[in-house]
């Protein structure tokens, strides 16, 4: 296996991806709790921010349009991973009541992003 492909599956790359996903979960839940905005878009915005900071730190934004595409693609992957982490964490916490509409209101730190 070429070294560039095998480096995708080492513990450092997996740890970085897990850490970035956890950062998105924490930032999103904190934002939702502080503002009361109960929607899924803050999670994607934070995914874009975390992905952009990571790309900037790795100096991979020099590629122009390709670099921006990679940032957006990574943001989509981070969003999906963070969503999975959030929903998995919710399985451990008992949920009371049924579905509620999205919008402004009281939001607990551990609550579903999509309803």
More reliable by pLDDT, 93 or 69: 69
Predicted pLDDT of residue 95: 57
Is the pLDDT score of 1 beyond 50?
no
Percent over 70 (pLDDT), the chain: 79
Percent over 90 (pLDDT), the chain: 38
Helix (H, G, I), strand (E, B) or coil at 38: strand
Most confident of 47-51, 62-66, 67-71, 88-92: 47-51
Q: What are phi and psi of 109, to 5 degrees?
A: -60, -45
pLDDT tens profile 37-47 = 888 899 999 99
* Nearest to 113, CA basis, from 76, 77, 92, 88: 88
Plot region of 96 (φ>0 → left; ψ -120 to 50 → alpha; else → beta): beta
The answer, as to whether pTM is greater than 0.85, is no
């Amino acid at each position: 296996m070429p070294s560039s492909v095998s480096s995708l599956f080492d513990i450092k790359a997996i740890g970085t991806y897990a850490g970035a996903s956890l950062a998105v979960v924490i930032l999103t839940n904190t934002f939702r709790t502080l503002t009361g905005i109960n929607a899924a878009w803050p999670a994607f915005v934070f995914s874009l921010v975390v992905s952009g900071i990571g790309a900037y730190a790795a100096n991979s934004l020099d590629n122009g349009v390709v670099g921006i595409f990679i940032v957006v693609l990574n943001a989509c992957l981070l969003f999906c991973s963070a969503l999975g982490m959030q929903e998995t964490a919710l399985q451990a916490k008992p949920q009371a009541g049924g579905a509620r509409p999205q919008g402004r209101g009281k939001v607990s730190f551990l609550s579903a992003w999509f309803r």
